[in-house]
């Protein structure tokens, strides 16, 4: 069953997680082209967004106005969070997501992200400010708690629902775990039992069997895919088809894979410019080649050349292992 937020149906309820340096607009568009219930922008610092020049906000390209995109905001001050939410809504954002789950030291050190789980009263002040500032649905992404001694996600979820949050995503780890160990999907059930709004399970969703197990353990209404998407942008749609019966995507192989990777690479160059785009593209090209089993020497050649033409020329050979498997 799809999850509905106001007049927005998340169908299937399989979502792309916000990941810094990964889920930029070119990648989100690619994932959405295969089929996704929702894609979420990279985390945006609220004060920086408000204070930035219009040209800087335009470069951020949050995907304002795109039906299947949520804009994720982070911050520690209610004023900046509310103002950033107003800007996002004013430019067409249909969903605002609040980040209270990022474990990065530079974010937590600024008392944002998962640091807010140590002060639920302050966390609620931020939620109240954002919900009160906009008319579009506001969602929340967080973790189980700060550490194993403070598993307060159910309490936060209850208070967030009362404040007007329309959906909550729980990463099945604490902040102190970062990304170590395994996600505790069963622990998410306490959040699901505490609220009536949709709950999305996140953490270690790497394929359809993992997603199915996460749903069984958590009782959640849907799943969010993070690092498992690297190198396989069709994964969200693939999980949606397996679990919720949406159209099955055709995972590209052979010439189709080469064409998709080339188009993604050229989209990044157009979006960022040749020099920065070439640098940003390396991580994605590396993941594609990891999946293809590209020989190390050729992989290094593709990732170190600064000539886009040479990269495009090398892709058919670099992805040849996948091409050969497709033809077999």
Q: Which of 82, 102, 116, 136 is catalytic?
A: 102
Model confidence pLDDT, tens digit, residues 195-240:
999 999 999 999 999 999 999 999 999 999 999 999 999 999 999 9
DSSP for 75-105 reads: -S-HHHHHHHHHHHHHTT-S-EEEEE----H
3-class DSSP state of 284: helix
- Residue 235 and residue 259 in one domain: no
- Residue 224 and residue 265 in one domain: no
- Residue 199 and residue 113 in one domain: yes
Domain carrying residue 286? 254-327
- Residue 302 and residue 191 in one domain: no
Question: pLDDT category, 328, cuts 50, 70, 90?
Answer: very low
Q: Among candidates 139, 155, 224, which has minimal Cα distance to 190?
A: 155
Strand stretches in the chain, DSSP E: 3-5, 8-10, 14-16, 38-40, 44-45, 69-74, 96-100, 138-143, 167-171, 199-202, 222-225
- Residue 59 and residue 161 in one domain: yes
For 3, list phi and psi in degrees, rounded to 5: -90, 135
- Residue 298 and residue 277 in one domain: yes
- Residue 10 and residue 107 in one domain: yes
- Residue 302 and residue 234 in one domain: no
- Residue 169 and residue 29 in one domain: yes
CB 106 within 8 A of CB 134: no
**pTM confidence score:** 0.92
> Which of 244, 263, 288 corresponds to the end of one domain?
244
What percent of the chain stands above pLDDT 70? Answer: 93
Does the annotation count 102 as an active-site position? yes
Burial 51-84 (b: 16+ CB within 10 A, else e): ebeeeebeebebbbebebbbbbbbbbbbebbbbb
Model confidence pLDDT, tens digit, residues 245-303:
999 998 999 999 999 999 999 999 999 999 999 999 999 999 999 999 999 999 999 99
Inter-axis angle of helices 274-292 and 254-272, nearest 10: 160
15 in a structural domain? yes
The CATH code of the domain that includes 44 is: 3.20.20.70
Q: Domain count for the chain, please give it.
A: 2
- Residue 187 and residue 295 in one domain: no
Most distant CA atoms of the chain, gap in Å:
59
> Which of 244, 279, 305 corresponds to the end of one domain?
244
- Residue 238 and residue 121 in one domain: yes
pLDDT of 64: 63
Q: Which two tokens stand for residue 113?
A: 């992200």
63 in a structural domain? yes
Distance CA 117, CA 111 (A): 10
- Residue 220 and residue 282 in one domain: no
> Which of 244, 265, 288 corresponds to the end of one domain?
244
25 in a structural domain? yes
């Amino acid at each position: 069953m799809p999850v509905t937020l106001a007049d927005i149906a998340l169908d299937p309820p399989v979502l792309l997680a916000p990941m810094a340096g990964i889920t930029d607009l070119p990648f989100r568009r690619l994932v959405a082209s295969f089929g996704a219930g929702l894609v979420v922008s990279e985390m945006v610092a609220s004060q920086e967004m408000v204070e930035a020049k219009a040209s800087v906000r335009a470069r951020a390209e949050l995907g304002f106005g795109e039906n299947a995109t949520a804009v994720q905001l982070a911050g520690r001050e209610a004023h900046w969070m509310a103002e950033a939410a107003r800007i996002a809504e004013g430019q067409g954002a249909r969903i605002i997501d609040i980040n209270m789950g990022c474990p990065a030291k530079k974010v937590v050190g600024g008392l944002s992200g998962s640091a807010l789980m140590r002060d639920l009263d302050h966390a609620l002040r931020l939620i109240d400010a954002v919900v009160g500032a906009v008319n579009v649905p506001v969602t929340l992404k967080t973790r189980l708690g700060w550490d194993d001694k403070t598993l307060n996600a159910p309490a936060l979820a209850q208070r967030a629902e009362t404040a007007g949050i329309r959906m909550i995503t729980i990463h099945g780890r604490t902040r102190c775990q970062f990304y170590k160990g395994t996600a505790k999907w069963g622990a998410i059930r306490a959040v699901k039992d505490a609220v009536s709004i949709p709950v999305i399970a996140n953490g270690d969703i790497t394929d359809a069997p993992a997603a199915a197990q996460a749903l069984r353990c958590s009782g959640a209404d849907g799943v969010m895919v993070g690092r498992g998407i690297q190198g396989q942008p069709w994964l969200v749609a693939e999980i949606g088809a397996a679990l919720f019966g949406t159209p099955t995507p055709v995972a590209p192989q052979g010439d189709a894979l080469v064409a998709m990777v080339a188009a993604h690479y050229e989209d990044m160059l157009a979006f960022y410019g040749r020099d920065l785009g070439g640098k940003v593209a390396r991580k994605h090209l590396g993941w594609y080649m990891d999946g293809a089993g590209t020989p190390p020497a050729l992989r290094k050649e593709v990732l170190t050349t600064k000539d886009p033409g040479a990269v495009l020329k090398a892709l058919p050979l670099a992805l040849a292992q996948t091409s050969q498997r497709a033809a077999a």
